[in-house]
């Protein structure tokens, strides 16, 4: 099943190794979920995971990013005609549509409720994702 992972799923999964986000990452790492991304998303992952406040080991982050880039599905996503509360979240929806992802998994569901326009992307939290897999 192809999915788009919001950056907060990676952060939460690494910070809380026994939580729902970590279980989602486990499913990605064993190949049950196929991450879909584009360069914008991979760049955001790298920038956020490198923030000193998280204290993630550089080698661990590099390994995860390499895995996502190598085993994930890379797409080129055309723009969508919609507006979200945070414009930085739009690429995640664009990639979900372009990659025909079964779901966009996020810890911030309300961030993906359009202010203008509509989308048909299945947006779920990590717990709901686990229940649906």
User: What domains lie within the chain, and their CATH numbers?
Assistant: 2-132 (3.40.50.1010)
CA distance 105 to 112: 11
- pLDDT, tens digit, 9 for 90 and up, residues 2-52: 999 999 999 999 999 999 999 999 999 999 999 999 999 999 999 999 999
pTM of the full predicted structure?
0.95
Q: Euclidean distance between the first and final Cα of the chain, in Å?
A: 8
């Amino acid at each position: 099943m192809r999915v788009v992972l919001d950056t907060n799923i990676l952060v939460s999964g690494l910070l809380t190794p026994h939580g729902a986000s970590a279980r989602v990452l486990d499913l990605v790492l064993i190949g049950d979920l196929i991450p879909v991304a584009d360069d914008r998303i991979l760049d955001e992952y790298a920038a956020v995971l490198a923030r000193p406040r998280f204290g993630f080991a550089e080698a661990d982050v590099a390994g995860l990013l390499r895995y996502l880039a190598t085993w994930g599905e890379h797409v080129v996503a055309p723009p969508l005609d919609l507006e979200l509360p945070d414009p930085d979240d739009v690429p995640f929806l664009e990639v979900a549509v372009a990659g025909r992802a079964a779901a966009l998994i996020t810890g911030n569901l309300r961030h993906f409720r359009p202010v203008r326009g509509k989308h048909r992307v299945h947006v779920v939290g990590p717990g709901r994702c686990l229940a649906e897999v």
